[in-house]
């Protein structure tokens, strides 16, 4: 339920109404804007009588939120959310460019790629230290050593690091050492992990599950936000369909749909969506053209020998060309890179 307030209401009156509503057992989420201010009610609203709230002189109207996601809902927060990563932003006019290898492999590998993508213009470095692999015999990542190497690359380039967490036991280490915590597709519905991530304040890049609906993705965001961490970035990374030519099927329609349903920034991963390096550029361009707030792209300096996801990784030279082409597209849709 959301309560839309009349314009220019004194703060004491808003506080009084908030207290009255909270006394009825719901949590009130205020969004005080310059144009409109709203109070988002989360929790069990079944005992609340909207006509009684509407009788209050500071209230314009009361609306029911049909969707099960509340804090992630655009109705609760009409303006776009901009997630602040120590000064670097995800959301808003500037498109966030996240680039780097699938996995951290060595100090020289990650620092060289970091320097290359930084020079091209990327604003975040990605790289997996803990890898969710289908086969237990495949490279599982350098784990804590990988996190340390990411920190070395950050120190050398100044790029904030985005890396995937697999276990709730690692939250403290990630919270201390990384800038954006990625929740991978396979963990999108690891509810215990999501609940724990809700207790910290670190930005979370939440990837859409392999077969998750948009509502399920937003409900997973809601798990994190319900705990108090509202710094969530959604990521479309392709979904399972009957098509096997590509690794997954990039659901481009998810971008405008998520932007309509939610205020959270939407980042697109054309690398995992296609599994093919030569499809990364066209889909990245399409994503920017239709409103993506960022792109997370796998870049490797030696894709043929990459320990993970070489076939979908592009070389820095290709990333540079794509970057230039994206500037034109971003410009055409009133954005910048």
Give the footprint of Mn ion on this chain (CB under 5 A). Answer: 102, 309
Nearest position to ligand PEP, beta carbon: 184
Q: Of 69-77, 117-125, 150-158, 179-187, which part binds ligand PEP (CB under 6 A)?
A: 179-187
Beta strands across the sheet bearing 27-32: 27-32, 37-42, 2-5, 59-63
Token representation of residue 135:
């086969």
Q: How far is the CB of 250 from ligand PEP (least distance, A)?
A: 12
Is 272 among the residues that bind ligand PEP (CB under 6 A)? Answer: yes
The helix-helix angle for 107-120 and 143-157 (nearest 10°) equals 40
- Counted residue by residue, the chain has a size of 337
Instruction: Give dist(CA 3, CA 1) in Å, integer.
Output: 7
Give the nearer residue to Mn ion in terms of CB position, either 285 or 300. Answer: 300
Q: Are 124 and 117 in contact (CB under 8 A)?
A: no
Task: Tell me the per-residue interface mask from 33 to 72 with ligand PEP, x by CB under 6 A, - otherwise.
Answer: ----------------------------------------
Minimum CB separation of residue 45 from ligand PEP in Å reads 34
Residue 123 or 274 with smaller CB distance to Mn ion? 274
Residues that bind ligand PEP (rule: CB under 6 A) add up to a total of: 10
**Interatomic CA distance for residues 172 and 177, integer angstroms:** 9
Residues 113-132, interacting with ligand PEP (CB under 6 A)? 128, 132
Binding mask 205-224 for ligand PEP (x = CB under 6 A): --x-----------------
Q: Which is nearer to ligand PEP, 74 or 272 (CB)?
A: 272
d(C-alpha 199, C-alpha 74), whole Å = 22
| Under rule CB under 6 A, residue 100 binds ligand PEP | no
Q: Which CB sits closer to Mn ion, 37 or 163?
A: 163
Distance CA 64, CA 45 (A): 10
Contact indicator for 95, 337 with CB cutoff of 8 Å: yes
Is residue 223 within 8 Å of residue 194, measured between CB atoms?
yes
Angle at 151 between CA 145 and CA 152, to 5 degrees: 90
CB of 272: closest distance to Mn ion in angstroms?
A: 6
Q: Is residue 184 near ligand PEP by the rule CB under 6 A?
A: yes
In DSSP terms, which residues pair with 227 in a beta bridge?
A: none
Binding site for ligand PEP (CB under 6 A): 102, 128, 132, 184-186, 207, 237, 269, 272
């Amino acid at each position: 339920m959301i309560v839309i307030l009349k314009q220019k209401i004194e703060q004491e009156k808003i506080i009084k109404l908030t207290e009255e509503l909270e006394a009825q057992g719901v949590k009130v989420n205020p969004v005080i804007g310059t144009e409109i201010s709203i109070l988002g009610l989360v929790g069990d609203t079944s005992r609340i009588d909207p006509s009684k709230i509407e009788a209050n002189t500071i209230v314009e109207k009361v609306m029911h939120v049909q969707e099960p996601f509340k804090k992630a809902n655009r109705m609760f927060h009409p303006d776009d959310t901009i997630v602040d990563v120590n000064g670097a932003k995800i959301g808003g006019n500037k498109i966030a460019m996240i680039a780097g290898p699938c996995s951290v492999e060595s100090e020289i590998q990650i620092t060289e790629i970091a320097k290359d993508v930084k020079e091209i213009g990327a604003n975040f470095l990605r790289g997996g230290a803990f890898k969710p692999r289908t086969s237990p015999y495949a490279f599982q990542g350098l784990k804590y050593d990988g996190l340390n190497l990411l920190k070395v690359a950050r120190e050398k380039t100044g790029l904030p690091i985005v890396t995937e967490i697999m276990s709730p036991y690692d939250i403290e280490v990630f919270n201390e050492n990384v800038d954006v915590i990625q929740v991978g597709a396979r963990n999108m519905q690891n509810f215990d992990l999501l609940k724990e991530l809700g207790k910290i304040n670190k930005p979370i890049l939440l990837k859409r599950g392999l077969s998750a609906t948009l509502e399920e993705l937003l409900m997973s965001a809601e798990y994190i936000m319900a705990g108090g961490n509202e710094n969530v970035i959604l990521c479309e990374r392709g979904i399972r369909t009957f098509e096997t030519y590509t690794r997954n099927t990039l659901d481009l329609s998810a971008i405008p749909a998520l932007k309509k349903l939610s205020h959270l920034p939407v980042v697109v991963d054309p690398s995992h969506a296609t599994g093919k390096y030569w499809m990364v550029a066209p889909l990245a361009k399409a994503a920017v053209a239709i409103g993506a707030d960022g792109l997370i792209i796998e870049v490797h300096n030696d894709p043929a020998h990459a320990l993970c996801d070489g076939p979908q990784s592009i070389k820095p030279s290709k990333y540079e060309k794509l970057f230039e082409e994206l500037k034109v597209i971003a410009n055409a849709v009133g954005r910048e890179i």
